[in-house]
C-alpha cells in the first residue's frame, strides 16, 4: 500500500460510500468521499487523491462523463469504476477509454484491495509537467487555450503583457509563466508599479547607492538585480509614472541598469512579464503611456477572460475556494446548497475571481450550518457588489430587506409576519431559512445582532 494521497470515493448511494470507507480505512487507506460527482474536480485540486473510485451510474453525472473530466485535467490519475453486475459492455468501453479498472457490485473485498494496490503503484505524484499551472483552477476551454499559449511562450524568453480586468488572475498567470519557463529555479519577483511614488519606485526597481538622496543611508540593491536570472513581474504597468517609463525602456534596450546615485552600469538578466487592467492603446493616445515601451513589453499579449466569460469555472472555483477556506477550524462547512450555487453561477462578478474569493470566504466565516444557504450568498454578494446588481441579485436583496422589515414590525412573530406577507407559514419559513433569518432575533430583548437591511 502506498502512503501518498487519499482515495477519493464517489457514489450517490451513501450506504455504499460508508461501507467502502470502512473497508478501506480498516486496510489503512485515508479516504475522502462525496455523493456529488460535481464536487470531484474541486476535491482533486484541493486534496490530491492518488486514486478515484467512482460509481458508473449516478443521477447527477455518470461515471464515464466524470472520468472524461478527470482525464482532461489529470491524465495520470487512475480511476476505478464500480459497475452493476451485468453491465459488461459499458465496463469494456470504459477500459478502452482509459479507465484504470472496473469492479462489479457487490464489491468483493479482496478484488477491491488488489485493484487499489495496483492503481496506487501506478500513481506517481501529480504530473510534474502540469505543476506549473496547478494554482490555476479552471475547466474553461477559453482558459485552456490561453494556458497552452502561455506554456509555449514561457519557453521563449520574450516579454509578455498579461491584460485583463482586475481580479482575473493576472499575477497567478505571471507566476505560472515563470514556473513553465527555463528560469523557474531563479527568483520570481513582483512589484505593483501603481502603488509607489515615482522616486521610491525608481529606487525599488534600480536600487540606489548610499547618499543618493536624503534618507538613502545604506546601499540598496534593486529588484532588477534581485530577480537576476529569473522573472520580474511589473504589475499595473499602465500606472507607471511617465518619466520612469523612459528609464525602464532604456534598461530593457541596453540590458543594463544604473542604480540611483551610481555612475556604474550593472548588467541585468531578467524576463519581464507585465500586467495591466488598463487599455494601454487608449493610454498611449492620451499620452500617458509610451508607445515604444508598449511594443517592448507587449511582444506577446495574453488576455485573461472575465469570470463571466468563463462562467463554467464558477462552481468549480467556488467549491475549491470553499474547501480552502474551510480547512482547519471551519472544516464542518461542507458545500453550497443547490440554490446558493445557482445564485453564484448567475451573479455578474465585476470583481472577477478576487470577488468570488471574498464572497466564499465571507460565507464560510458566517455560516452556522454545513451547507451554505442562498440567503448567505445573496447577503455576501450584496455587500461585495460595487456595480449595478443583476436582476436575481436585486431580487434576493429586496426579499431579504422585506423579510427583515416585516419581522421587525411584528417583533419576531413569524405567523403575523407571514399573514402580512400573505404567504402560508411553511413558505414563509422556507424564505426565512433561505435568507438565514431567525424570528427569535427580532423579539424584544432578542439577539443583539439583528441583521441589518442592505
- Rule CB under 6 A: say whether 171 interacts with ligand ATP: yes
Q: What pairs with residue 300 in β-bridges?
A: 160
215's CB contacts (< 8 A; 6+ apart) are none
Residue 121: other Cβ atoms inside 10 A? 12
Q: How far apart are CA 151 and CA 334, in angstroms?
A: 34
Nearer to ligand ATP, 358 or 450 (CB): 358
Nearer to ligand ATP, 358 or 416 (CB): 358
Q: Beta 335-336 vs 220-221: how paired, if at all? A: unpaired
- Rule CB under 6 A: say whether 358 interacts with ligand ATP: no
The residue nearest ligand ATP at its CB is: 169
Q: How far is CA 190 from the centre of its chain?
A: 20
Q: Residues binding ligand ATP: what is the number (CB under 6 A)?
A: 18
Residue 194, all three cell numbers: 501603481
Query: Contact, 205 vs 243, CB < 8 A?
Result: no
Residue among 49, 169, 230, 389 that touches ligand ATP (CB under 6 A): 169
Cα angle for residues 426, 427, 431 (degrees, 5° grid):
120
Q: How far is the CB of 223 from ligand ATP (least distance, A)?
A: 17
Q: Where are the strands (E) in 94-197, listed by range?
A: 101-104, 160-163, 188-192
Q: Which stretch binds ligand ATP (CB under 6 A): 105-113, 165-173, 254-262, 331-339?
A: 165-173
For the chain, how long is the longest CA-to-CA vector? 83
Q: How far is the CB of 176 from ligand ATP (least distance, A)?
A: 10
- Rule CB under 6 A: say whether 168 interacts with ligand ATP: yes
Q: How far apart are CA 110 and CA 145, in angstroms?
A: 43
Residue among 39, 235, 239, 393 that touches ligand ATP (CB under 6 A): 235
Residue 285: other Cβ atoms inside 10 A? 11
Q: Which stretch binds ligand ATP (CB under 6 A): 50-58, 91-99, 169-177, 387-395?
A: 169-177
Residue among 180, 341, 353, 381 that touches ligand ATP (CB under 6 A): 353
Nearer to ligand ATP, 236 or 393 (CB): 236
Burial-class residue 234 by CB neighbours within 10 Å (0-12, 13-18, 19+). Answer: buried
- Rule CB under 6 A: say whether 278 interacts with ligand ATP: no
- Rule CB under 6 A: say whether 357 interacts with ligand ATP: yes
Nearer to ligand ATP, 149 or 413 (CB): 149
Nearer to ligand ATP, 136 or 322 (CB): 136
Show the binding pattern over residues 26-65: x = contacts ligand ATP (CB under 6 A), - = does not.
----------------------------------------
Sign of the CA dihedral with 10 first, then 342, 429, and 361 last: positive
Question: Which residues inside 311-340 make contact with ligand ATP, applying CB under 6 A?
Answer: 317
**SS3 call for 352:** helix
Nearer to ligand ATP, 169 or 439 (CB): 169
Nearest 5°: phi and psi at 93?
-65, -35
- Rule CB under 6 A: say whether 354 interacts with ligand ATP: yes
Residues contributing to the site for ligand ATP (CB under 6 A): 136-138, 164, 166-172, 235, 275, 277, 317, 353-354, 357
Amino acid at each position: 500500500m502506498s502512503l501518498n494521497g487519499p482515495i477519493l470515493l464517489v457514489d450517490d448511494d451513501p450506504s455504499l460510500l460508508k461501507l467502502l470507507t470502512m473497508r478501506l480505512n480498516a486496510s489503512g487507506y485515508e479516504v475522502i468521499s462525496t455523493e456529488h460527482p460535481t464536487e470531484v474536480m474541486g476535491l482533486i485540486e484541493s486534496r490530491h487523491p492518488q486514486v478515484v473510485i467512482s460509481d458508473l451510474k449516478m443521477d447527477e453525472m455518470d461515471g464515464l462523463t466524470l472520468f472524461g473530466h478527470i482525464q482532461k485535467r489529470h491524465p495520470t490519475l487512475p480511476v476505478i469504476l464500480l459497475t452493476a453486475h451485468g453491465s459488461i459492455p459499458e465496463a469494456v468501453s470504459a477500459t478502452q477509454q482509459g479507465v484504470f479498472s472496473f469492479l462489479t457490485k457487490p464489491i468483493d473485498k479482496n478484488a477491491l484491495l488488489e485493484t487499489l494496490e495496483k492503481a496506487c503503484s501506478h500513481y506517481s505524484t501529480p504530473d510534474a509537467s502540469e505543476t506549473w499551472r496547478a494554482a490555476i483552477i479552471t475547466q474553461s476551454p477559453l482558459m485552456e487555450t490561453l494556458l497552452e499559449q502561455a506554456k509555449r511562450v514561457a519557453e521563449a524568453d520574450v516579454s509578455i503583457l498579461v491584460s485583463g480586468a482586475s481580479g482575473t488572475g493576472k499575477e497567478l498567470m505571471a507566476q505560472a509563466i515563470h514556473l513553465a519557463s527555463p528560469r523557474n529555479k531563479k527568483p520570481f519577483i513582483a512589484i505593483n508599479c501603481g502603488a509607489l511614488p515615482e522616486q521610491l519606485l525608481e529606487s525599488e526597481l534600480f536600487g540606489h547607492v548610499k547618499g543618493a538622496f536624503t534618507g538613502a543611508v545604506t546601499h540598496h540593491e534593486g529588484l532588477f538585480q534581485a530577480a537576476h536570472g529569473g522573472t520580474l513581474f511589473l504589475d499595473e504597468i499602465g500606472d507607471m509614472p511617465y518619466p520612469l517609463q523612459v528609464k525602464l525602456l532604456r534598461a530593457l534596450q541596453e540590458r543594463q541598469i544604473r542604480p540611483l546615485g551610481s555612475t556604474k552600469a550593472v548588467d541585468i538578466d531578467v524576463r519581464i512579464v507585465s500586467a495591466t487592467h488598463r487599455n494601454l492603446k487608449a493610454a498611449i493616445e492620451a499620452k500617458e503611456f509610451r508607445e515604444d515601451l508598449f511594443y517592448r513589453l507587449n511582444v506577446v499579449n495574453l488576455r485573461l477572460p472575465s469570470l463571466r466569460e468563463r462562467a463554467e469555472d464558477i462552481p468549480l472555483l467556488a467549491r475549491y475556494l470553499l474547501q480552502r477556506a474551510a480547512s482547519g477550524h471551519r472544516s464542518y462547512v461542507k458545500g453550497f446548497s443547490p440554490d446558493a450555487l445557482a445564485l453564484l453561477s448567475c451573479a455578474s462578478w465585476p470583481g472577477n475571481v478576487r470577488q468570488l474569493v471574498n464572497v466564499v470566504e465571507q460565507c464560510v466565516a458566517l455560516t452556522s450550518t454545513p451547507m451554505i444557504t442562498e440567503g448567505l450568498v445573496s447577503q455576501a454578494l450584496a455587500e461585495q457588489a460595487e456595480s449595478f446588481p443583476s436582476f436575481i441579485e436585486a431580487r434576493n436583496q429586496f426579499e431579504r430587506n422585506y423579510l427583515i422589515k416585516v419581522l421587525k414590525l411584528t417583533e419576531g412573530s413569524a405567523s403575523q409576519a407571514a399573514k402580512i406577507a400573505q404567504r402560508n407559514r411553511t413558505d414563509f419559513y422556507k424564505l426565512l431559512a433561505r435568507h438565514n433569518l431567525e424570528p427569535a432575533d427580532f423579539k424584544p430583548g432578542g439577539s443583539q445582532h439583528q441583521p441589518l437591511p442592505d
